[in-house]
Structure 1
């Protein structure tokens, strides 16, 4: 077992301590975020750069009992207070921080256990891998909530490999979650450039300060995001706590590359930004997010976007959006993902790969290649996760110099724009008989998650249709006046 995996398992076992104090998995990871940040600053010798002397790791370990818990509570408040003018990453990670711990003995056990772990490693990414391992554990254990922002690492790495981010590119994720995509993109670029040493000084400055942009709209997730970026050495100056469907999303820098897994389901209201033309009245996440991605790309920019099935087949606004994408970009590949690979959801998803055309281009998409990785695949889940070997055939087919249509018995097929138009611009294309559909779905909680996700998609579709009908009524009233 590698050192960071061993630490992850040891830290996760400590969760049993806090579960007795009524703390959830999500709260446990948040509590660990505070303590691990302080501990890691101590281990890395960086406390002078970030923390006042009276609020460092040693000030916690030097106390006992109620005094320790009282000091810890005060520390959380002070580190998150903007009046103290601490470095942004500190004040943001500790913003509105408070402990979920009620019993001094539980804090003492947690602190002593963390302090006793062997933290030494020469690997620059060891702390980052440790923290990402904790996030993955949280997603595995939490059927509701956590998996919504944790995309399987193997899928992220495959998407990044195929998109091949380059030094000097502006890379964006408008639904950051815990930052998996931009961390993987940065790792990819570092690997290509000898950890940036092959770059000029000007290029290094760009990579460390201006390359990565994005938005996360959930404060608790934003805290985990900042910690994850910090531990991986990725700058967070252009990472915002905001709503991508608000004016903040419209203000994001135009991107050379977008990598994202947007949220889905009802959004609780229409977008409040004024630049969306097709989805401005849609009260769900998935369609407006896809339009954002198209609008936010520079000419020639690339995107790989995880979307639920309804984005590929929904009528009305969905169809109009697909037509806009195929007219203004080359929507060249669709990967139909297997079910069960996202920890909290049973939703059926795809990855769409596109490249935006130059201004004025029309009917840019000439053909769409569809890879069916869903039909006749094993049942994925916590005990049977997606692996690189599962994705390897798609990666090889995607990257081939001359793509081959594998016919009705194969997984990779090509469909012309004319054939797609004849289908009513429906891109939910299947041809393989899926024998696995007759197999048992799985555990009751997995069945419930699958039903819930389908209901969310259905509710989003109903809200979209309702908004369209309301829009037509408003247009009719204006015409009558």
Structure 2
């Protein structure tokens, strides 16, 4: 972002101070701002034809001048009932957290006074994503669960090298960061200016996502729109772990995602009829979706917490199935402290689909440890793309991890960050992929425990997983009905 865009971004973020007296949270503010920015941008970019005349920006300004807060609330409701698909989705179940007419007036005036003509379309997208990142960094907002750090996203996209022919999917899209980064990579590495508008629109229709939470889905639509996606019919509101995920998300050449942490709400198991393995562990369920949804030859990069690498029973079954059907060639152990849930250790799995009937596709797994002896990331030490440069170099230029490319990699030994482990070595570990060898001597290492809520969630996930496995044993023994397997235990 240039300095002008940064200044506008800071002014927009500072506007949240206007709403503090109304008890509005950071997340509510970004949602509130999304409603107003959508209407303002439609006017500034000459796209108001999609919005009914009596619900456009000029009408919002009039209602703000007239202190007609009730009229503004009614506008939001009616915008959610309009016939235009994008407008309807942006304003679905829209409500305002503003409590005072004066606050609405100040907010509208402040937005109106900003120099929008100094910002081009792509910068508008970057500006909005900056707001999303600021929101995610505020612990109290709770929005971090929908936002993956952009340096991590860009590093994953860079090694996966999205192309013009790729159908790209994010089954846990959040605010659509992966999809936008993939599009920017394609735009940078291909001459899109030489393509006709119809071809570019067709390319954008190869991008697909699904998000469960309506507020996050709303922000994703706005983010995509500001990054040039005129048609966002590939961005679905829904649950990937139900049959609507199988129905609405097409098979993909490339899947990039960071599934939500934790267990399925209510402790139940996914209701996907095409799933073989039943587990309340959402990350494991997403892993099954991903390797099932990849086309043969398709590739994936997925963020998962450590428990996916070592969880027993169903976890072992899913890892074995993954290593049979896919070539799991690389695991990146991520630094701690880069996500909203402090203390949660995460990794990125990189794999390529062989076929649905393949066996023993994984012959070796390379593990890059970017966790040991790394700084404590946070506001004082932000994560940057530079932190991933050595990993990207070690990964190489082959996005699929073909054997001849892996043969060129260098095993750095017990003192290095990059090592190779054969399938036989992994089998001897009980098919655990939680592999570490470096002694962590970074300042504060081992001293700071995760927050109590994080520990509680991890304990609940392990207990619910164990209960689910025991119930499945009872089903197999004929002692319990299959329909009871997913019930909640008080």
- 2:438 matched to which residue of 1? 432
* Residue of structure 2 in register with 1:277 after alignment: 276
Whole-Å Cα distance in 2 between the matches of residues 460 and 47 of structure 1? 47
Q: Distance in 1 between matches of 2:198 and 2:32?
A: 38
Which residue is equivalent to 2:3?
A: 2
**CA distance, structure 2, for counterparts of residue 18 and residue 183 of structure 1:** 30
SS in 1 for 2:478: helix
Aligned to 1:70: 70
User: Following the alignment from structure 2 to structure 1, what is the Cα–Cα distance between the partners of residues 100 and 150?
Assistant: 36
Check conservation: 1:171, 1:213, Cα contact below 8 A: yes
Match of 1:22 in 2: 23
Q: TM-score, normalised by structure 1?
A: 0.93
Q: 2 CA distance for matches of 1:359 and 1:439? A: 42
Aligned to 1:214: 209
Asked if 1:470 corresponds to 2:466, the answer is no
Kept in 1: contact 2:25–2:141 (CA 8 A): no
Structure 2: gaps of 5 or more residues: 398-404, 482-490
Q: 1:458 to 1:437 in 2, by over 3 A?
A: farther
* Alpha-carbon distance between aligned partners in 2 of 1:418 and 1:144, rounded to the nearest angstrom: 45
Aligned to 1:321: 318
CA distance in 2, matches of 1:356, 1:244: 20
Shift of 1:437: 7.0
Distance 1:237 1:120 in 2: 28
**Aligned residue pairs: how many?**
467
Q: Which residue of 1 aligns with 2:239?
A: 243
Which residues of 2 match residues 247-262 of structure 1 at below 5 A? 247-251=243-247, 252-262=249-259
Per the alignment, do residues 397 and 64 of structure 1 end up closer, same or farther by CA in structure 2, a change over 3 Å counting? Answer: closer
Contact 1:139 1:150 in 2 (8 A): yes
d(CA) in 2 for partners of 1:113, 1:197: 36
The 8 Å contact of residues 146 and 344 in structure 1, kept in 2 or not, is answered as no
C-alpha separation between the residues in 1 aligned to 2:444 and 2:342?
20
Taking structure 1 as reference, are residues 201 and 93 closer, same or farther at Cα in structure 2, changes over 3 Å only? closer
Matches within 5 A, 1:351-362: 351-362=348-359
User: How far apart are the structure 1 equivalents of 2:196 and 2:10?
Assistant: 40
User: What SS class does the counterpart of residue 477 from structure 1 fall into?
Assistant: coil
User: Pairwise CA RMSD of aligned residues?
Assistant: 2.0
Displacement of 1:440 in angstroms is 7.9
2:150 corresponds in structure 1 to 153
The aligned counterpart of 1:406 is: 412
Q: How do 1:196-211 residues align onto structure 2 when only pairs under 5 Å count?
A: 196-199=192-195, 203-208=199-204, 210-211=205-206
Equivalent residue, structure 2, for 1:397: 394
- Other-structure match for 1:330: 327
Question: Residues of 1 paired with 2:178 and 2:227: CA distance?
Answer: 12
Alignment of 1:335-374 (within 5 A): 335-374=332-371
Q: CA deviation at 1:9?
A: 1.0
Q: Tell me by how many angstroms 1:458 deviates.
A: 2.4
Residues 1:230 and 2:225 aligned together: yes
